[in-house]
Amino acid sequence: MLVVVPLSAAAAFYFAVRYLDQPLPITEPVIYKIPAGTALNRVAADLEERGLITHPRLFALYGRWEAAADRIKAGEYRIEPGQTPAGLFEQFVSGRVLLHSVTLVEGWTFRQAVDAIRQHEAVTVTSDQMTDNEIARVLGLETESPEGWLLPDTYLFPRDTTDLALMEMAARAMKETLALTWEEREQGLPLESPYEVLILASSVEKETGLAAERSRIAGVFVRRLQRGMRLQTDPTVIYGLGDSFDGNLRRRDLTRDTPYNSYTRHGLPPTPIALPGREALTASVRPADEEALYFVATGAGDGSHYFSATLEEHNRAVARYLARLREQKD
């Protein structure tokens, strides 16, 4: 009898060690969620019920042996084939939860970005009854409008993150990026503050999707501002039309005065008109050193533009563009 007990204890220890290092009985990834406040015993029992482990008591005892039974973290986890019970427990303790992603696209408006965030199935919506001005205050913005203040990027987050938390993440990224951009600006620009950079960059973002053209577009805008010329850029007009814009910009729209009509008003619009990306921000503080004061689409279908230094040259470029459009219709 004196020999049986130690042998039985040794056998039990050997079995436990082997079990903890054996792969889980799964053949494909499983998403598993631990609700807040769930005890280890309950987690172990639930894992067994779902066929993810075979010995819940050993799993729970292992947690106590590691003095970590009360350290498992709530959240959504991705359990992979090949994981062991010991590895799974360590994952729960470290809180390596499944991360979801949402991408905010350059040129989107603030509303479009917020809609994308709120429509994500892993996001908890808490700001749907708030006005844009209220959201701006929560985000710690110095402006009444939150337009332009979310940095386009892909953001990773755990399930049940709130929409406001994601907006705060994107706003913080924009503030940091804008501050660095402002520090790198060229001297002599007609821009008085980082916010004016944000405003200008949003127009640059909306005018071209071609990386090679961003600094050239910014250069045109900067030179026009320096000479007291109106910007005369269609995207600002479209933004000012709001929901009344039906996709077709008409001549009467260019003469209809709004705070955003850069054909009727001098200077920058009162706010950004979209979310500018890093490249548009950089282009706005380091514009191309050229003579062009005008640009018009080439009509080539690639988003490219003709750039002109004089009105006469610009008018010829416009004529070529219109002729190309007529050819495409015929």
Residue 233 carries which side chain, given as an amino acid letter?
Answer: T
- Tokens linked to 232: 């005369």
CB 172, CB 192: distance < 8 Å: no
* pLDDT recorded at residue 105: 98
* 88 and 116 both lie in a single domain: no
User: Which residue's structure tokens are 């004089």?
Assistant: 310
CB under 8 Å to 252, separation ≥6 — which residues? none
Number of Cβ within 10 Å of residue 118's Cβ equals 17
Identify whether 4 is part of a domain: no
* 60 and 135 both lie in a single domain: no
Q: Is the dihedral of CA 267, 273, 277, 279 positive or negative?
A: negative
* pLDDT recorded at residue 299: 84
Residue 99 belongs to what H/E stretch?
strand 99-103
CB 257, CB 227: distance < 8 Å: no
* pLDDT recorded at residue 10: 56
Q: Which pLDDT tens digit goes with each residue over 243-296? A: 999 888 899 999 999 999 999 999 999 999 999 999 999 999 999 999 999 999
* pLDDT recorded at residue 329: 77
pLDDT along the chain (330 residues), means of 10: 47 70 94 95 96 93 88 95 95 96 98 98 96 96 96 97 98 98 96 98 95 96 97 96 89 93 97 98 97 92 92 94 82
* 106 and 66 both lie in a single domain: no
* 42 and 170 both lie in a single domain: no
* 55 and 157 both lie in a single domain: no
Identify whether 323 is part of a domain: yes
Please, which residues bridge with residue 296 across strands? 306
Q: What is the CATH number of the domain that holds 71?
A: 3.30.1490.480
Identify whether 117 is part of a domain: yes
| Residue 242 DSSP one-character state | G
Last residue of a domain, one of 157, 178, 199: 178
Residue 192 carries which side chain, given as an amino acid letter?
Answer: E
Identify whether 9 is part of a domain: no
* pLDDT recorded at residue 3: 43
- From residue 231, alpha-carbon distances to 165, 182, 221, 299 in Å are 36, 22, 6, 21
* 162 and 277 both lie in a single domain: no
Q: Which pLDDT tens digit goes with each residue over 282-296? A: 999 999 999 999 999
Number of folded domains in the chain? 3
Identify whether 241 is part of a domain: yes
* 246 and 165 both lie in a single domain: no
Domain carrying residue 74: 15-94
Query: Residue 158 — φ and ψ, nearest 5°?
Result: -80, 160
Instruction: Give the torsion through C-alpha atoms of 142, 288, 206, 253, to 10 deg.
Output: 100
* 34 and 128 both lie in a single domain: no
* 223 and 319 both lie in a single domain: yes
* 252 and 128 both lie in a single domain: no
CB under 8 Å to 203, separation ≥6 — which residues? 221, 231, 233, 235, 236, 269, 273
Last residue of a domain, one of 160, 178, 196: 178
* 211 and 279 both lie in a single domain: yes
Cα–Cα distance measured from residue 261 to residue 1, given in angstroms and rounded to the nearest whole number? 96
* 193 and 284 both lie in a single domain: yes
> What share of the chain has pLDDT > 70, as a percent?
95
In the chain, where does DSSP find H-type helix?
4-20, 40-49, 56-65, 85-94, 110-118, 132-138, 163-183, 194-207, 214-226, 234-241, 251-255, 278-285, 311-329
Radius of gyration of the chain (CA): 29
Q: Residue 78, SS3?
A: strand
- Tokens linked to 304: 């490219």
Query: Residue 245 — φ and ψ, nearest 5°?
Result: -75, 125
Identify whether 19 is part of a domain: yes
Last residue of a domain, one of 71, 94, 117: 94
